[in-house]
């Protein structure tokens, strides 16, 4: 996808961390001379809000393994806290949350053409403001107060 978008000057991919595919991604970046892909090592937790806030759109990739259909990774909450629109390359719970709450777009795992279209559409869309607003609203559902109330309701039933 980065290769197809490499001639569009305002689209840059920032990848931060030490995930299992880092070396493979670095190799692809080098072999295809992708100047629109920047790869950074893992950062201190206190630096992450600054990096996330600098992005226009954030992406959550989850494995296609069935266990990840119920996963909500920490970065999801961090993106919400920074009011960022999401592209969820995932299935299950996270994909449903993204769609139901209109906080971004979901993409089928491995569907590069769909991801390309989503990026093009989101970068040219006025819906970004809506996604940002909805992210901020959704975050309220995940406060300690809200979660403890929900937990109390579940336990007392």
Q: How confident is the model at residue 145 (pLDDT cuts 50, 70, 90)?
A: confident
The predicted model gives 135-143 an average pLDDT of 89
Q: Which pLDDT belongs to residue 151?
A: 78
Q: Which pLDDT belongs to residue 66?
A: 94
| C-alpha gyration radius of the chain | 17
Taking the C-alpha atoms of residue 75 and residue 27, their distance in angstroms, rounded to an integer, is 25
DSSP label of 21:
T
Residue 143 has pLDDT above 80, yes or no: no
Taking the C-alpha atoms of residue 133 and residue 130, their distance in angstroms, rounded to an integer, is 5
Residue 131, helix vs strand vs coil: helix
Per the CB < 8 A criterion, the answer to whether 72 and 93 are in contact is yes
Q: Which pLDDT belongs to residue 147?
A: 73
What pTM, to 2 d.p., does this model score? 0.87
Give residue-wise pLDDT tens across range 40-57: 999 999 999 999 999 999
Give residue-wise pLDDT tens across range 83-100: 999 999 999 999 999 999
Q: How far is CA 46 from CA 19, 49, 50, 57, 78, in A?
A: 19, 7, 8, 20, 11
Taking the C-alpha atoms of residue 23 and residue 36, their distance in angstroms, rounded to an integer, is 17
């Amino acid at each position: 996808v980065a290769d197809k978008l490499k001639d569009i000057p305002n689209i840059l991919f920032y990848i931060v961390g030490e995930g299992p595919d880092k070396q493979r991604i670095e190799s692809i970046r080098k072999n295809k001379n992708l100047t629109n892909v920047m790869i950074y090592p893992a950062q201190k937790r206190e630096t992450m809000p600054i990096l996330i806030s600098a992005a226009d759109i954030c992406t959550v990739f989850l494995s296609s393994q069935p266990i990840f259909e119920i996963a909500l990774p920490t970065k999801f909450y961090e993106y919400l806290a920074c009011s960022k629109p999401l592209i969820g390359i995932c299935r299950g719970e996270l994909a449903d949350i993204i769609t139901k709450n209109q906080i971004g777009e979901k993409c089928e795992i491995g569907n590069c053409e769909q991801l390309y279209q989503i990026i093009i559409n989101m970068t040219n869309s006025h819906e970004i403001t809506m996604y940002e607003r909805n992210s901020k609203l959704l975050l309220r559902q995940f406060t300690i107060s809200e979660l403890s109330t929900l937990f109390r309701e579940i336990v007392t039933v």
